[in-house]
Structure 1
């Protein structure tokens, strides 16, 4: 199993995270029905918030010297943190990197957590249920919530769990 390193992304990491964001957005376009803008980029408001908003934190995932993905956390000062965006490059998927990265990120911010994903994304469904079980045992829940401002798309699935303080 390859090693994964998780660290808070700084300004110098932003270009790498922006390129990873394009890969993430491309992958997600299959499930949310979005095409890129005329310049080939995708909606990036969450990317910008992750680096600029005080209640957000962007994490860069690396394997050796290579970027392997990212995790954006929001709600740092809220009772419940949200893993807002999570991405592992295709070449690192199904290696255990994703699970270990999520475990590290949530351990940095103990307490209640929520993660949303699209039910049509079978890989995400399996992954997030496994993550919740690994972190919280059977003490997690799942519910469907409408996507704000998008009545044309199916509801997101939200998983909720707690991570204990160490």
Structure 2
């Protein structure tokens, strides 16, 4: 991972994801084939969000004491029984490739270039992502377009 080049200073990094305005398990995001976002995806997003504010550690996979971008996604998905490749450049192949415009909460977005993936995040909905950014800010929430996403992968159908 070349995460250290991917810093994004989000002064509101303590923000939490609140879907309390939803009346059911659907959202404004593009729904999956059955018309709803699965509960597992929502659970995964909410699980990931509890680590916002924790430290970034290059090469780490510990959600509390420190992880890098792919260590964050690796450990969050492992909690739900999904096995991802360890590096961001390989995680792009850990599920079904989808268009960036098709992302749903729980999908992975990738940054860098198509031939040189350098950063991975979890899409949480409403145009936002959660990720282990850099040592200066740790695990934060950012707009998905803080950089241009170059690929997306759906691990949970």
TM norm structure 1: 0.27
Greater relative contact order (CA < 8 Å, ≥ 6 in sequence): 2
- 1 or 2, which has the higher strand percentage? 1
- 1 or 2, which has the higher helix percentage? 1
TM norm structure 2: 0.28
